[in-house]
Amino acid sequence: MKRVPLVLAALLAQPGGAFVQVPVPPCQARLELTQHDQLLTVAGHCRSTAPAPAHYRYQLLVTRQSRAGRSQNSQGGEFMLLPNQDLVLSQVRVSALAHDEYQAKLLIFDLQGQIVARDSAGQGTAMH
């Protein structure tokens, strides 16, 4: 018997007991943060949940606030994602001392500019 993979949709309960079908996002964004000594590496990943290849655009933004000031690194580009593929989109390395604060954001857009996946991480006081 041949098994056919299915894409499932999440169900959300609405007032009155009705259900609305919410589509499963076509991909998942994930930030991976690793620290070695005083260097923080932020890697942006995207994993496909779609049954067919698709093209996307990404933006990885890393902001660091230290006693010396504020620095910001932004990277982005277009990419193609195959079914079930997990792709490393970009890596950023920043100095990360004990008193520093940082925030990282990864946004994945479809080619029409709509956000289809996101992830964020940070350390220290909330940055604005």
Does any domain span residue 63? yes
pLDDT reading at 41 higher than 90: yes
Beta-strand runs (E) in 14-128:
19-22, 27-36, 39-48, 54-66, 69-81, 86-95, 101-109, 115-123
Quote the pLDDT of residue 15.
Answer: 59
Domain hosting residue 109, numbered range:
25-123
Does any domain span residue 64? yes
pTM: 0.77
Can you tell me which residue has the tokens 């932020």?
Answer: 42
Domain count, the chain: 1
Does any domain span residue 54? yes
Does any domain span residue 43? yes
Q: In this structure, what DSSP letter does residue 25 have?
A: P
Each residue of 42-101: pLDDT tens digit? Answer: 999 999 999 999 999 999 999 999 888 999 999 999 999 999 999 999 999 988 888 889
Does any domain span residue 13? no
Quote the pLDDT of residue 68.
Answer: 87
Query: CATH code at 34?
Result: 2.60.40.2420
